[in-house]
Structure 1
């Protein structure tokens, strides 16, 4: 096949040389005119210079062994599609290939290369020329190892810079998120503290007997706390109840004990004995006293018992 390619390239060179000679002759005679297209009065005659072709072939042809040339000239392989479809196949070398049909032309080249490979493999094996790449084959690289090491170092530096940038970006985002969460936590704590103080004040004033505001600390106290149950059951003590009854639940305190017309006219709480010294602990001579015995007397009384 390489021989056919060499012949074809040689014919192309000869044709170009012939065309160049014709152009020079036409220019010398003054037949060339301005423009790209040159009218041709008489059709050119194809010259089959067999002696010249053989001479040119002998110039570049060398008597080398086939293992160095690896040239083959083959007819195309059998048409498998035509064989599968049951069509009659033409004899080798008798096919008419249309140059205008790209698919037909490319398939002809493909089948010719296939036949060349099938013919070349046995010859290569005969000359003990390996046809498969070994498993431990390493191709020669276009770049040197030093150059590739420099490229690798630059890539690693670039990758490290990108990772550092991404890490810094994530840290900035985490800081922003952490500040946001911290602000929310502080605000929630302030709200809880404010609500708890308000609930404590209401409980101290007796406006409520619920201790729901203590539920926030139940995780810190032991479960089943007896003190909590007693507080919930007991409620306000008697002193707190008396003060609430006497002074109310807030409001104006100053001047609340002043005498008014209603309190002046109301004599339901007047007691004559108390007013004239006839009653009570220390009022009058005949009054009843509960004097505590002396220390010595109390000691003797204990000794009797």
Structure 2
């Protein structure tokens, strides 16, 4: 209840203050008809140079330059931008162009560094960080450890994904090669079976398919010069020749020739007409009778 009474009292005081201000404004003639108060104009800002200098002297600290490291330069004139239409000595970047604005900041900072470095060297202040330099980081070690772990987990996930992609690609390639090998084997098997069938039917007398040698396709029996290619013996014949030796010509060995026909030195008339005397001759004439004769002989004996 006490808080409510205090709040109501403060509201009544505020309302009295506002009534008094309204009465004073009415007595001055500042109140005009309407809901809004028309302002006469903006308040003019005063450039109090002496007051500003006095405030600056109050908080300004007279320190050496090495403690302040402040460098004040004019606008850098070596701004290189192909979109600038002004001359290099009087170049001013367009504030609406983000690229020109950022390049002007960069060149201004570069000019300031080039101006400050000789002064630091003159004061024998090192400008390069030594190898054993230690500085307190803005982030704690635990936070950096979490970041490292997160980066490592991301890198491991990326490596795992890349490895999985490579395995999938290898599997696809392996399947493709396997299919090609199976197709090749099936084709060779079909070719061999076809050659075996031809050999069994007597359509071919070659066994080159047993040695893995395939005969040339039809229509390609001629050499490069258009001459007919002479074929040698097949694999089976070559193997037998290597094992048993070449026995000479067999076919046509009993054919008569002009010389063999004229040569009668080995002719024996008695041998040729079975007129050999003695036991050998008797044996030659003691031939077995025929079937009918044997049956007659059996019937007579019976």
Report TM bin, short chain: 0.3 to 0.5
Asked which structure has the greater RCO (Cα within 8 Å, sep 6+), the reply is: 1
TM-score, normalised to structure 1's length? 0.42
